[in-house]
Amino acid sequence: MEWLGNALERVRSRRPLVHNITNFVVMNTTANALLALGASPIMAHSPEEVEELVRAADALVVNIGTLDSSFIYSMIKAVSAAKELGKPVVLDPVGAGATRLRTRTALHIVSLGGVSVVRGNFGEISALAGEVGMTRGVEASAYDELRARELATEVSRKFGTVVAVTGRVDYVSNGREVYSVEPNSAVVEGVIGRVTGLGCIVTALIGAYLAVEEPLKAAIAGIATFKVAAEKAAEESPYPGSFHVKLYDWLYRLDGDLLARYAKVRSYEA
C-alpha cells in the first residue's frame, strides 16, 4: 500500500485547509486531529460566511451531529457552493435513522449531488438505504459485516458517491469496487466505545485526504490512518482518557512508511 504513504506525505506537504461544519461535541476533537495529521482546520458554521470559506478551503466536512435550523441551512448552502466550485465534500450523517429530522437532513444533503464521500456507521448507512431500527442514539445498534459490505455498494450506487461503512471491519465502495480496512489486532476494541467523537475524527481525516486524492482513495486513506493510529495508541494506553491523548500523538507520529506497512486493505468484487 505504497500509495497510502504517499497520500499522507502529500497531506503533510500541502497542509490543506479543511472547512468543518460539525457538531458542538467534537469541534475541538476533530480540529486537533486534523492539526496532528498535518492539515489546517477551520470550524465555522455561520451562514453569512460559509460560501467564502468554501471558496478558500481545499475540502468541506459536513457533520450533522447537533442539528438545528441554522446548521441545516448552513450545510445546504455550503454543499451547494462546494458543488458549484468543484470542491470535495465528505458527509457524516450522525444519528441518521434515530430521528426523522436527522434522516431527512442526511438524505437531503446527499441528494444535492455535491457530496464526494459519505462516512457513517452501520445504522446510519442503513438509514440512507431506507432501513430503520439500526440506530440507537447516535450509535449503531448492530453490525453485520457481510451486510456492511453490501450497504457500501448499494448506497454508493443509489447516490452516486463513495460510501464508507465503519465498524470493526470498515468497507468502502464507489459502486464498482469494494475495499475493506481491517484491524491488525483487537487491542483497541475495549477502549474505542468509551471515547466520543472517534467516528467524527475519521470523517475529518477523510476530508484532509480529499484535498490530495480522489474520493475512493481518500476514504480508504482516512480510515486506514485512523485505524493504525488508534491501534498504536491503544497499545500504549488502553484507558479512555490517555488513549485519546495518545491518539493525537500517533496521528502526529505516523509517517508514510509506517502507514503503508501496517494498514490492512483488501479488495472485493462489487
In tens, the pLDDT along 5-38 reads 999 999 999 999 999 999 999 999 999 999 999 9
- pLDDT of amino acid 147: 94
CATH 3.40.1190.20 assigned to 2-269: yes
Whether residue 136 is predicted with pLDDT greater than 70 in this model: the reply is no
Q: What percent of the chain has pLDDT over 90?
A: 89
Task: Quote the crossing angle between the two packed helices 2-14 and 27-37, to the nearest 10°.
Answer: 100
Whether residue 138 is predicted with pLDDT greater than 60 in this model: the reply is no
Rounded CA-CA distance 97/219 in Å is 22
Residue type, 87: K
Mean pLDDT along residues 81-108: 97
- Mean residue pLDDT across the chain: 94
CB atoms within 10 A of CB 186: 10
Rounded CA-CA distance 3/250 in Å is 20
Q: How far is CA 69 from the centre of its chain?
A: 23
Domain ranges of the chain: 2-269
- pLDDT of amino acid 193: 87
3-state secondary structure of 139: strand
Confidence of residue 104 (pLDDT cuts 50, 70, 90): very high
Confidence of residue 3 (pLDDT cuts 50, 70, 90): very high
Task: Quote the crossing angle between the two packed helices 215-236 and 198-210, to the nearest 10°.
Answer: 140
- pLDDT of amino acid 190: 86
Rounded CA-CA distance 34/155 in Å is 27
Find out whether 88 and 215 touch, Cβ atoms under 8 Å: yes
- pLDDT of amino acid 186: 83
Whether residue 139 is predicted with pLDDT greater than 80 in this model: the reply is no
pLDDT tens digits for range 200-252: 999 999 999 999 999 999 999 999 999 999 999 999 999 999 999 999 999 99
Task: Quote the crossing angle between the two packed helices 198-210 and 2-14, to the nearest 10°.
Answer: 80
